[in-house]
């Protein structure tokens, strides 16, 4: 079973970073790449990186994450 599914079911614990990113995603669901937001008195930037490319070399899947500034 996929790790995310195990975490969703409560069989694996979420890390502090995962919990924070879930909170940021809920608070700022429409944040764009490199957008800076403030959350609980701290500033965070939304970033995206490619995680999969198709046969033509174009990005087909992206991963988003947050970085504290």
**Over residues 15-38, mean pLDDT:** 95
Query: Is 42 within a domain?
Result: yes
Q: Give the H/E segment covering residue 7.
A: helix 3-8
Quote the number of domains for the chain: 1
Query: By residue range, what is the domain housing residue 24?
Result: 15-68
Give the pLDDT band (50/70/90) at residue 7: confident
In a domain? residue 20 = yes
What mean pLDDT comes out for the span 39-59? 95
Closest CA to 27 of 62, 49, 15, 35: 35
**39 beta partners:** 42
In sequence order, what E strands does the chain have?
Answer: 36-39, 42-53, 59-68
Residue 10 lies in a domain: no
This prediction's pTM: 0.78
Sign of the alpha-carbon torsion through 4, 7, 12, 17: positive
Q: Dump pLDDT digits (tens) for 53-62.
A: 999 999 999 9
């Amino acid at each position: 079973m996929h790790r995310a599914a195990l975490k969703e079911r409560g069989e694996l614990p979420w890390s502090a970073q995962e919990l924070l990113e879930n909170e940021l995603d809920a608070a700022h669901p429409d944040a764009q790449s490199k957008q800076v937001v403030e959350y609980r008195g701290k500033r965070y930037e939304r970033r995206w990186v490619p995680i999969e490319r198709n046969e033509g070399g174009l990005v087909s899947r992206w991963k988003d994450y947050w970085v504290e500034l």
